[in-house]
Amino acid sequence: MKNILLNLVVVLLLWAGSSCRNLNGNWTLESPDKLVKIEIMNLPDSATGAFRLFYQVEFNGKEAVLRSPLGIERDDARFVTDLKPVSQSAVKRIDEEYSLKSGKRSEAHNYANEQLFTFENRDGKRVELIVRAYNEGVAFRYRFPEENPARHQVMAEQTEFSIPQEGKAWIHPYDWNSRKKPSYEQYCEKEIPVGKASPNQKGWAYPMLFNANGLWMMVTEAVLDGSWCGTHLQVTGEGAYRVCLAEADEAVIPDAPEPVHTLPWASPWRVIAVGETLASIVETNLVQHLNEPCRLANTDWIKPGRASWSWWSDGGSPRSFKKQIEYVDFTAQMGWEYILIDSGWPVMEGGTVEEVIRYANEKGVGVWLWYHSGAGIPKDTVSVRNVMSVADARRAEFARLHALGVKGVKIDFFDTDKQEIVKLYAEILEDAAASQILVNFHGASLPRGLERTWPNLLTTEAVRGAEGFGRQERCDQAPNFHTVLPFTRNVVGSMDYTPVTFSNKIRQGVEAFQKTSYAHQLALSVLFESGIQNFADRYTAYLALPEAPKDFLKKVPAAWDETRLVDGYPGDFVVMARRKGSVWYIAGINGKEEPRELTFSLPFVPEGEKLSLLLDGKQRTGFAEGSVKTGNPITVSLLPFGGFAGTIEL
């Protein structure tokens, strides 16, 4: 009888709980190795008293992200407060291996625990929170699970990232200048206090790097497939970073910044990489893991490589048939795979671009051509300026290029994170793949991992690269900036910096002096990862190099099987190792205006192997050669803003 009464009481209590809004909840998901933990909580807000969702993240018992609010607002529903827990799925193990055509490694392992939590608002509408815990971090996204063909609009996202405030941050401001065009080309603010407001009124850009509470963390965004706008961040009054949609006054198109879609509908992933060392941040593929698998049945035609590029040293050269032929000959001599012919080629003088392409094909050199994205350009008449934004014309152009033997396109000036232009990225990649055309997005948004789904995307700019060296103040900032990028921008995807420039750039008759050593510039061919590595200097500068560095540039790959951060600190120095096949490439640079010695070890390389080195010479423009056996700490001497590069052949 006692058991019957007890069961009856339990049933009545459960019934009573289901008849009211039982908002309390606390759920924890751990990584496979149990070092990473994300906790989801449904608690009263200290400011309003209303129940709302929060999350926090720990690594090995240390707080990485403090309690931070969640929430999202749709045009017809708010999923911010008073959300009733409906269900939670069983923990699902994700364990898959996949290949990448470009990036920091050729084989990746997507390994995580995933759980789905469903909540209901007071109007009975539902939102899902999908959470993953990786050994190297966490990720979560919102999903509206209802089936509804009507188009809905997301009005705001309430997600915040609250980082322990005693730490330091390295963040790039969200672009905002007189042209109102986010292109992710701002210099990084280095070692600033956590929670400091951006110098730009529109806030901060991804990725954000933090060192706090004995941990390194990176916050970024993954999956931008056209169903959402790109987002950025603003600091709230609590010193946390809140997700913001695109800006209404981004100038390229007049569209509203809020994304629109039918249901079901999922947001991009909010990504937090975390570990006790910088290597755990630099070496992660979290952004790629979260994207959809490759959609192409055949990827054999996708070949990363090195390219010559005449525009950097001579902006008018793409219009010259003679100069492009010279660059084709030089490219073949170097053994590089490609030549990039930039803006101006449709009005080539002395011959046609089709003739250059035929000649290049005979020489075994693939051609890339520059195009405008068409963003903000009227579509009533299709021209070379907007052909990439008009679907039928774009497909026809890709088919024409494939028939000519063109290998790739560099598409420029997207200039907004609004959804309508963001949709162009995936559309272009799909149409390009159908004609076996490779793609470089320039003047574009930050990479969010599309290269896993569409591996014909070999690189993206989204960086203040070497094309800005026509101004002295940018040459002055570049050497230190180079030591930041391997820890920030280049972590999340291939980066078209257009490196390895030995000459001084001349712009509008003004020559800007580069302060880096030649060995520093050579090192960038390894430190800066890009599936198409556009070497920017004039070909005569490369031909004038001594044989050893010239031979290094003939052999250095553009895609890697493995990447290791050896040592470094953003804004100070970096030493990186990348492997292609049985050859390790080791490179390092000094970001300071004083000479220094760097000592490092290579524990992942067998002892007794020979490291052949190209080092700073006595002068900035010189090289020295050396070699050392692995197994003991290696010490190299660097000039102010100097560097080194070397190889180990196993």
What does the alpha-carbon distance between residue 144 and residue 260 come to, in Å, rounded to a whole number? 13
516 pLDDT band (50/70/90 cuts)?
very high
Give the model's pLDDT for residue 47.
Answer: 81
Q: For residue 572, what are the CA distances in angstroms to 507, 567, 575, 578, 601?
A: 29, 11, 11, 20, 18
User: Which residue(s) pair with 130 in the sheet?
Assistant: 116, 141
Over residues 231-272, the pLDDT tens digits come to 999 999 888 999 999 999 998 999 999 999 999 999 999 999
Q: Tokens 């898959």 belong to which residue?
A: 96
176 pLDDT band (50/70/90 cuts)?
confident
461 pLDDT band (50/70/90 cuts)?
very high
φ, ψ (nearest 5 deg) of residue 22? -80, 95
Give the model's pLDDT for residue 17.
Answer: 35
Q: Which two tokens stand for residue 27?
A: 């759920």
Over residues 533-586, the pLDDT tens digits come to 999 999 999 999 999 999 999 999 999 999 999 999 999 999 999 999 999 999
**How crowded is residue 31: how many other Cβ atoms within 10 Å of its Cβ?**
21
Give the model's pLDDT for residue 139.
Answer: 99
What does the alpha-carbon distance between residue 224 and residue 519 come to, in Å, rounded to a whole number? 37
Give the model's pLDDT for residue 46.
Answer: 82
What is the radius of gyration, based on Cα positions, of the chain? Answer: 26
Give the model's pLDDT for residue 336.
Answer: 99
C-beta of residue 573 within 8 angstroms of C-beta of residue 589: yes
In the predicted structure, residue 517 carries a pLDDT above the cut 50: yes
Burial class for 280, CB neighbours closer than 10 Å (0-12, 13-18, 19+): buried
- Per-chain mean pLDDT for the chain: 95
What does the alpha-carbon distance between residue 525 and residue 502 come to, in Å, rounded to a whole number? 12
Q: Tell me which residue of 65, 37, 40 sits closest to 52, measured CA to CA.
A: 40
Give the model's pLDDT for residue 179.
Answer: 79
Over residues 266-312, the pLDDT tens digits come to 999 999 999 999 999 999 999 999 999 999 999 999 999 999 999 99
Over residues 330-341, the pLDDT tens digits come to 999 999 999 999
Give the model's pLDDT for residue 10.
Answer: 36
Q: DSSP E strands: which ranges in 522-638?
A: 532-535, 562-569, 573-580, 583-590, 596-600, 610-616, 623-629, 634-638
Give the model's pLDDT for residue 22.
Answer: 52
Give the model's pLDDT for residue 20.
Answer: 36
Give the model's pLDDT for residue 8.
Answer: 39
Over residues 34-89, the pLDDT tens digits come to 999 999 999 998 888 899 999 999 999 999 999 999 999 999 999 999 999 999 99
Mean pLDDT to the nearest integer, 314-328: 98
C-beta of residue 272 within 8 angstroms of C-beta of residue 284: no
- Give the chain's domains with CATH numbers: 22-289 (2.70.98.10), 300-462 (3.20.20.70), 465-486+502-524+551-650 (2.60.40.1180)
12 pLDDT band (50/70/90 cuts)?
very low
**Whole-model pTM over 0.85:** yes
Give the model's pLDDT for residue 332.
Answer: 98
User: 140 or 384: which carries more pLDDT confidence?
Assistant: 140
| The three-state (H, E, C) secondary structure of 157-199, written as one string | ECCEEECCCCCEEEEEECCCCCCCCCCCCCCCEEEEECCCCCC
What does the alpha-carbon distance between residue 18 and residue 311 come to, in Å, rounded to a whole number? 68
Amino acid (1-letter code) at residue 5: L
186 pLDDT band (50/70/90 cuts)?
very high
Using DSSP's 3-state secondary structure scheme, residue 360 falls into: helix
Give the model's pLDDT for residue 23.
Answer: 63
Give the model's pLDDT for residue 89.
Answer: 97
